[in-house]
Structures are given as C-alpha cells and as structure tokens.
Amino acid sequence: MTLNWRLQRKSLRSAAERHSVRQPKGVELERVDGHLEKGGKIVVNDVLACFENRKGGEGSKSWDGQLIVLPGSPIELQDYTLVLDDGRRGDIVVDDINHRHGQAAPDVSFQGKGPLA
C-alpha cells in the first residue's frame, strides 16, 4: 500500500464525514470503499459507496445509493462497474451529479443494474 493511496483514502474518509448522504429514516445504508471501472480499466480510483441493498420479489435485488468521490474525480452520467473492496462488484448507472455551492465534492447518485455479487 503506497503512502499516496493512504492519503487519498484518508481524504475520502474526511470528505465522507463532511458530506451529507440522503438516508431515509429507518433505513440502514452500507458504506463500502471501492473504485469504478469502465471497460475493465479503473477510471475513478477511490469512492465510498453508500447504498441500500433491498430484496425484491422472487429473489431479485435492487440497490441504489450515492458515491462519495474526491474533488476533481472524472465521473460522468454513464454506466460503470462498481468494484468494492470487500470483493463484491456490480454494474451501475450514474444518474445524477449535483455540484452544490460551497461543497468541493459533488453529490453522485446511482442505480444498480443487475446483482451486486
């Protein structure tokens, strides 16, 4: 593990502490570190995924949430593969990026596409 990587993770955690994640009352969100890939290549190295993993009818699952990224991360409204540090991965679509005044990192919302496994 490089010093630069540790500093990025520390910065990401600091941003997460200052960042408000929309969380419905009574809903517990998973918070897992990871990265985003596009075409098998890492495009956003450090993300904190905050999401709800719901079980739907007939065993299907739906999941959605927010990503906390470092300021200046190259994230766009498009499809990615979210790769979590705990070994799970799943396809997502980033469906909203909101740059709020006075906030360095944007609010990034996503929808899971298929299973998170």
Kindly report, residue by residue over 7-45, the tens digit of the pLDDT.
Answer: 454 555 555 454 455 555 556 778 899 999 999 999 999
What is the per-residue pLDDT across 41-97, written as a single tens digit (0 to 9) for each? 999 999 999 988 766 544 446 789 999 998 888 999 999 999 999 999 999 999 999
Give residue 52's domain range: 3-21+29-113
Distance in Å from the first CA to the final CA of the chain: 25
How many folded domains does the chain comprise?
1
User: What six digits make up the tokens of 101?
Assistant: 């005044």
**Which residue reads 């990587």 in tokens?**
5
* C-beta of residue 49 within 8 angstroms of C-beta of residue 31: yes
